Amino acid sequence: MINEALPQWLRQVMPYLALGHGLFNLLVFGIFVRQGWLGLAIRRARRSGASLPFTAIRSHRRTGPVAALLGGAGFLAGVLLVFLDKGHLIEYPLHLAVGSVIVSALVALYIMSRRIAGVDSPYRTPHAALGLVLLGLYVIQAVLGLGILL
Q: Print the SS3 string covering 75-120.
A: HHHHHHHHHHHHCCCCCCHHHHHHHHHHHHHHHHHHHHHHHCCCCC
| Spatial distance between the Cα atoms of 115 and 29, rounded to a whole number of angstroms | 24
The span from the CA of 16 to the CA of 10, in Å, is: 10
Mean pLDDT over 55-61 rounds to 95
Residue 56 has a pLDDT of: 95
pLDDT in tens, 64-104: 999 999 999 999 999 999 998 888 899 999 999 999 999 99
Phi, psi of 145 (to 5 degrees): -65, -40
Instruction: Quote the pLDDT of residue 1.
Output: 58
Q: Rounded CA gap, 105 and 130, in Å?
A: 7
Q: What percent of the chain has pLDDT over 90?
A: 79
Which helix (H) or strand (E) element contains residue 142?
Answer: helix 124-149
Instruction: Compute the distance between CA of residue 84 and CA of residue 82 in angstroms, rounded to an integer.
Output: 5
